[in-house]
Amino acid sequence: MTSKPLPFAASRDLPAPLELALEQSHEVRAKVEACAGDLASKNESVKQQIADGATTLSAQSSLHASEEVEAQVLECADDLHQVTETLAHGIEDLRNVELALATSRGALAQVESSLAAAQEDAGRWKMRSLHDVATGLPNRDLFNDRLTHAISLAERHQWTLAVMFLDLDRFKSINDNHGHAAGDMVLKEIARRMLQHTRDEDTVCRNGGDEFLYLLVNPQGAENVERIARQILATIALPIGIDGLNLVVSPSIGIALLPDHATTGAELIALADAAMYGAKRQRLGYAFSDRTRETDGATDAHPLRFPHVHEADVMVASHMTNGS
């Protein structure tokens, strides 16, 4: 009797020693079944002879038959011993495989943990590289990126944009008289107050030192921009309490609009910066750029214009701070 081959699905996932042991076990089983068959056949033969009236059987014939069966049994025993050894090797291989898998899982877990930590660190460093350390506001690089994106959207949807350039008056005296720690606290408070007027689509940026940039996306007209500028003036001019002191700063704000004044980010920032210096010189609080963008190859540039209403707004903020 021949052994049956293992099904492919059952054998393909086993280590080679175990697969061999299974094949050998089928062969041993076939031999054992053959021995049992031979013994049964011989027993039937003896029974038939007795039934036919035989009272004695040939001793030599019986001995020969027994020796044949004994040889087959011994051969099966040897085969079983080989199967046992093969199984032992297969089990050892399985244990090694399981140990290797466990080690691999542990190593994989460590790699995944290290990767997660590296990604977290990368995220933190990216956050730091794009944000101001003192205030947490976006820095100039991130502001430029958002401004470029906003200009693309504005051109596509026919929106307007406004860029405000803010400079804090009297901030240097705070650093000189109360130290840089107090100055940093003032900057953080100014940033917090400015964010009160910021929508999700807008961006407030610390440009460096005591300068800030403010991008307004689709502000729905110059009137809204002017209203926000007045709110910022009044909010920032309120006293800032630090260690029992009431420190007061006030901003000068320059404003440039897209597409009225310029169509590129660099031009908007430059024009807002120039308007801010004009507002500072005349102590008007805020001023729009009076430069018009190029038309038909010519540039119509005018001196900065400062509406008188701005001065009244600054006077209100000044009285609020002086009376505290």
What percentage of the chain exceeds 90 in pLDDT?
Answer: 41
Cβ proximity of 17 and 93 under 8 Å:
yes
Going 149 to 151 to 157 to 159, the CA torsion angle's sign is: positive
The pLDDT of residue 46 = 64
The pLDDT of residue 229 = 95
Asked whether residue 300 carries a pLDDT value surpassing 50, the answer given is no
Confidence band for 13, pLDDT divided at 50, 70 and 90: low
Going 320 to 241 to 283 to 279, the CA torsion angle's sign is: negative
CATH of domain 140-322: 3.30.70.270
Q: What is the mean pLDDT of residues 236-244?
A: 91
Nearest Cα neighbor of 313 from 250, 254, 257, 271 is 250
CB count within 10 Å of CB 9 equals 7
* Cα–Cα distance for residue pair 308/287, rounded to 1 Å: 10
Nearest Cα neighbor of 275 from 291, 254, 261, 297 is 254
Query: In terms of DSSP bridges, do strands 286-288 and 250-258 run parallel, antiparallel, or are they unpaired?
Result: parallel
Strand partners for 167: 211, 252
Residue type, position 167, single letter: D
Cβ proximity of 217 and 161 under 8 Å:
yes
The pLDDT of residue 131 = 93
Instruction: Please confirm, yes or no, whether 210 is among the known catalytic residues.
Output: yes
Nearest Cα neighbor of 254 from 280, 215, 222, 221 is 280
The pLDDT of residue 243 = 85
Where do we find the tokens 């107090």?
Answer: 182
202, 210, 273, 313: which one is catalytic?
210
Domains in the chain: boundaries: 8-127, 140-322
